[in-house]
Amino acid sequence: MLRINGIDILSLGYSIWLLIGVFAAFAVVGFFTRIILKKLARHYRNKKRYWLSAFCTKVFWPTTSAILFTFICNIIIHGILSKHNFIKWASTIITLNKVAIVIFILWFAMSWKNYARHLLQRQPDITASQRAAIHAMNKVLTMLIVFVALVTLLNILSIKMTALLAVGGIGAAAVGFASKDIVANFFGGFMLHVTSPFKVGDVIACANKELTGTVENIGWYLTVLRNFDKKPIYVPNAQFSGSFVINNSRLHNRRIFLTVGLRYQDMSKVDAVTIAIRDMLAAHPEIDQTTAGYVNLTAYDASSVSISVAAYTHGVPMDQFRNTQQDVMLKIAEIVEAHDASFAFPTVTLDMPQPKPNLPTIPQE
């Protein structure tokens, strides 16, 4: 019974006024707390401390709801159930209160996480790799928060994890083999979000270069690629654990590699041609001079002497790279022509036997 100085307040009719007073005080405190939290959130946002700003923005309503729900549960237990001898229902109300508190904490944690992600991703100076890392962290935190909340709820409801695992173990042997690929895909998705070998928008190649395309979505079970024919490819995440992945979007440079074949009769001009090509590459604005390339005679082929040309471009996008490569190839052709040399082409030498002379026939006797 709720008593003050021996007086049963509920039975004397003071309960309504007590509740009004409590709710009024609660509303006043909540009003000023809300104002303070808004100012703190604005302050931390200006200081670029986004996690604290998100905390101050999202903590009010879940906390207020949890306090209010707990107060109502106590009123029900001490003011109604105990008065009418329904105290046996008190344990149910207490359990319900604990479950509700876990749900309110889950609400707050998810709201805090999502709003912090929103604040971080809206910054104008954020890079693509940072955006991908935030996206991956968001998914990992979601799984962690849900897992902790689920385990806590099972504990509150007195559901033993050992018993649950024992019951599940009976059917696990039957479905384990069938579900191993599903589990592998989910673990593959988890590792993709943790290690982040690529992000949405990257151009990748995997499975011995049989799968190539632009990443459109990275899910827990599968990843969606769009190939160069604009066809969607749905790749199970376990595929990335069992094969290498080439991320073409993280290239620092692209390499131009050409083989220039000159005629054997132009052998005396090879040295001058290679020097001219090196000078041209050194002066080219789209060639990266900090990355070593080379221009050298490398092979005697069947119909030509081969000069290998290797250089690295500044431009990583494929269209920019192809334009640079075309310009280099045209300049090499001009250099060859300027040195009175020619490109070799396959030739075949035929050795024709000389015809036998017509000898006079000797008449036979």
SS3 string of 74-132?
HHHHHHHHCCCCCHHHHHHHHHHHHHHHHHHHHHHHHHHHHHHHHHHHCCCCCCHHHHH
Residue type present at position 11: S
In a domain, residue 119? The reply is yes
| Distance in angstroms (rounded) separating the CA atoms of residues 16 and 99 | 28
The verdict on 112 and 17 lying in the same domain is yes
133 beta partners = none
76 to 13, 62, 90, 99, 102: CA distances (angstroms): 16, 21, 8, 16, 20
In a domain, residue 299? The reply is yes
Structurally, how many domains does the chain consist of?
Answer: 3
| Distance in angstroms (rounded) separating the CA atoms of residues 184 and 173 | 16
Question: Under a CB-based contact definition with an 8 Å cutoff, are residues 9 and 2 in contact?
Answer: yes
Residue type present at position 223: T
| Distance in angstroms (rounded) separating the CA atoms of residues 294 and 325 | 15
In a domain, residue 145? The reply is no
SS3 string of 135-177?
HHHHHHHHHHHHHHHHHHHHHHCCCCHHHHHHHHHHHHHHHHH
φ and ψ at residue 253, rounded to 5 degrees:
-145, 165
Place of tokens 């190839």: 329
Work out the end-to-end distance of the chain between its first and last CA atoms, rounded to an integer number of angstroms: 157
CATH code of residue 303: 3.30.70.100
Note the pLDDT of residue 131: 74
Structure tokens at 205: 């190649």
Question: Under a CB-based contact definition with an 8 Å cutoff, are residues 254 and 213 in contact?
Answer: no
CATH code of residue 176: 2.30.30.60
The verdict on 176 and 99 lying in the same domain is no
The verdict on 40 and 65 lying in the same domain is yes
Question: Under a CB-based contact definition with an 8 Å cutoff, are residues 240 and 192 in contact?
Answer: yes
Instruction: Identify the H or E element spanning 191.
Output: helix 161-195
The verdict on 166 and 109 lying in the same domain is no
User: Could you tell me the residue range of the domain that residue 266 belongs to?
Assistant: 254-338
One pLDDT digit (tens) per residue for the chain, 365 residues: 445 444 454 454 455 666 677 778 888 888 999 999 999 999 988 888 888 899 999 999 999 889 888 888 877 777 665 655 666 677 788 888 899 999 999 999 999 999 888 888 888 777 766 677 777 778 778 888 998 899 898 888 887 766 555 555 555 554 555 567 777 887 888 788 778 888 888 899 886 667 889 999 888 788 999 998 999 999 888 888 778 888 988 888 999 999 999 999 999 999 999 999 999 999 999 999 998 899 999 999 888 999 999 999 988 888 899 999 999 999 999 999 999 999 988 776 677 776 666 656 666 65
In a domain, residue 362? The reply is no
Name the CA dihedral angle for 73, 75, 78, 81, rounded to a multiple of 10 degrees: -70
Q: Which of 249, 268, 285 is the last residue of a domain?
A: 249
In a domain, residue 141? The reply is no
Place of tokens 């902790």: 148
The verdict on 298 and 265 lying in the same domain is yes
In sign, the C-alpha dihedral spanning 65, 67, 71, 73 is positive
Q: Of 41, 46, 4, which Cα lies nearest the Cα of 21?
A: 4
φ and ψ at residue 260, rounded to 5 degrees:
-105, 115
The 8-class DSSP code of residue 320 comes to: H
In a domain, residue 147? The reply is no
| pTM for the full predicted model | 0.53
